[in-house]
């Protein structure tokens, strides 16, 4: 069997994105909203895995980046074009990631996870303080949000871009360096990798997408306050989706974000009181019996086929 080249994978992504771009005219409003959720989580999970899957660093900073993006929109709406706000949201998150990355990326394991979680809280409190002290508000109303179709297309574009970026990074020297760092950081250094720079670069790159997605999705809420956009749940959900899918792959997190979004929606409609319990149980089972994520199922199947 011929292996997929980078060009094949990018072509497949572009084709899939084009097909998805037609959905607003083919789907019901309900299905479109669900697809939008899938796309958002796919973008979040793929960009999370781009850095964390390769380096084995557990970052909980997604909520911080997402919230920053949302606040770029909240502050800019009315004066900034929607698309420009999304771009700025991404750039703000990437710049922030580069800055804090320089300070925290030498930490590993639980320390890194806790510190990145703390970042979200830090930014949330900073914005709360700023809004109260200087703007005299606790939240902001989004007036005149863009059409749903526009939001959908922008989110689709950002998530497709996240997938293409992840594909390119994986095939590049940066990707090789990140895998080396994930395996044995000091060994990678003795083979010539400037690990600090590689990690800051990749962390910052991977922060662009949650920032842009935060800015893009913020207009879906009519009212924005720090507590709702710096929602740690978004960060946890992203990590879970990526890990259940298989964080060292790209297809895994995509598949798992579809699964998650659909399952959550279905369970919420069928079992409005129990759905979180059921979801939690499913998660535990998956982690227990499929530690390599959904992607490992595919690998096992391929392996079986290649031996047969």
Q: Which residues bind to other proteins, rule: CB under 8 A?
A: 173, 176-177, 179-180, 182-184, 186-195
Q: For residues 119 and 193, which CB has a smaller minimum distance to other proteins in the complex?
A: 193
Q: What is d(CA 48, CA 52) in angstroms, rounded to the nearest whole number?
A: 6
Q: Which two tokens stand for residue 268?
A: 């919420």
Which of 49, 50, 64 is CA-nearest to residue 116? Answer: 64
Please say whether the dihedral angle defined by the alpha carbons of residues 49, 218, 113 and 242, taken in this order, is positive or negative.
Answer: negative
Q: For residues 193 and 244, which CB has a smaller minimum distance to other proteins in the complex?
A: 193
Least gap, CB of 178 to other proteins (angstroms)? 12
Least gap, CB of 221 to other proteins (angstroms)? 41
Which of 238, 210, 183, 26 is CA-nearest to residue 123? Answer: 210
Q: For residues 83 and 292, which CB has a smaller minimum distance to other proteins in the complex?
A: 292
The answer to whether the beta carbons of residues 103 and 118 sit under 8 Å apart is no
Q: For residues 271 and 303, which CB has a smaller minimum distance to other proteins in the complex?
A: 303
Q: For residues 192 and 272, which CB has a smaller minimum distance to other proteins in the complex?
A: 192
Q: What is d(CA 301, CA 253) in angstroms, rounded to the nearest whole number?
A: 18
Least gap, CB of 290 to other proteins (angstroms)? 18
Residue 234, CB half-sphere, CA atoms under 13 Å: how many? 26
Least gap, CB of 50 to other proteins (angstroms)? 17
Q: For residues 146 and 246, which CB has a smaller minimum distance to other proteins in the complex?
A: 246
Q: For residues 47 and 195, which CB has a smaller minimum distance to other proteins in the complex?
A: 195
State the Rg of the chain over Cα.
19
Least gap, CB of 56 to other proteins (angstroms)? 10
Least gap, CB of 303 to other proteins (angstroms)? 12
Q: What is d(CA 254, CA 168) in angstroms, rounded to the nearest whole number?
A: 16
Name the H helices within the chain: 6-21, 29-55, 62-76, 82-104, 109-130, 148-171, 173-190, 195-218, 226-229, 232-245, 251-270, 275-289, 294-307
Least gap, CB of 170 to other proteins (angstroms)? 13
């Amino acid at each position: 069997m011929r292996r997929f080249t980078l060009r094949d994978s990018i072509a497949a992504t572009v084709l899939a994105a084009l097909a998805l771009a037609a959905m607003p005219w083919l789907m019901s409003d309900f299905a479109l909203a669900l697809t939008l959720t899938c796309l958002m989580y796919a973008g979040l999970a793929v960009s999370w895995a781009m850095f964390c899957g390769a380096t084995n660093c557990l970052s909980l900073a997604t909520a911080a980046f997402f919230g920053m993006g949302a606040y770029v929109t909240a502050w800019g709406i009315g004066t900034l074009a929607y698309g420009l706000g999304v771009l700025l949201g991404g750039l703000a998150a990437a710049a922030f990631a580069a800055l804090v990355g320089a300070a925290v990326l030498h930490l590993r394991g639980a320390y890194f996870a806790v510190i990145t979680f703390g970042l979200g809280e830090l930014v949330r409190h900073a914005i709360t303080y700023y809004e109260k002290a200087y703007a005299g508000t606790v939240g902001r109303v989004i007036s005149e949000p863009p059409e749903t179709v526009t939001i959908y297309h922008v989110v689709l574009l950002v998530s497709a871009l996240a997938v293409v970026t992840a594909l390119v990074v994986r095939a590049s020297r940066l990707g090789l360096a990140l895998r080396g760092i994930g395996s044995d950081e000091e060994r990678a250094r003795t083979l010539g990798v400037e690990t600090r720079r590689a990690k800051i670069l990749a962390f910052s790159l991977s922060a662009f997408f949650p920032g842009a997605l935060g800015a893009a999705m913020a207009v879906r809420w009519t009212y924005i306050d720090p507590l709702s956009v710096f929602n740690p749940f978004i960060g946890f959900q992203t990590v879970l989706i990526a890990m259940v899918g298989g964080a060292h792959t790209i297809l895994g997190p995509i598949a798992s974000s579809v699964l998650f979004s659909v399952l959550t929606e279905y369970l919420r409609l069928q079992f409005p009181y129990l759905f979180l319990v059921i979801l939690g149980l499913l998660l535990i089972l998956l982690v227990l019996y499929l530690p390599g994520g959904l992607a490992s199922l595919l690998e096992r199947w391929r392996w079986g086929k290649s031996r047969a």
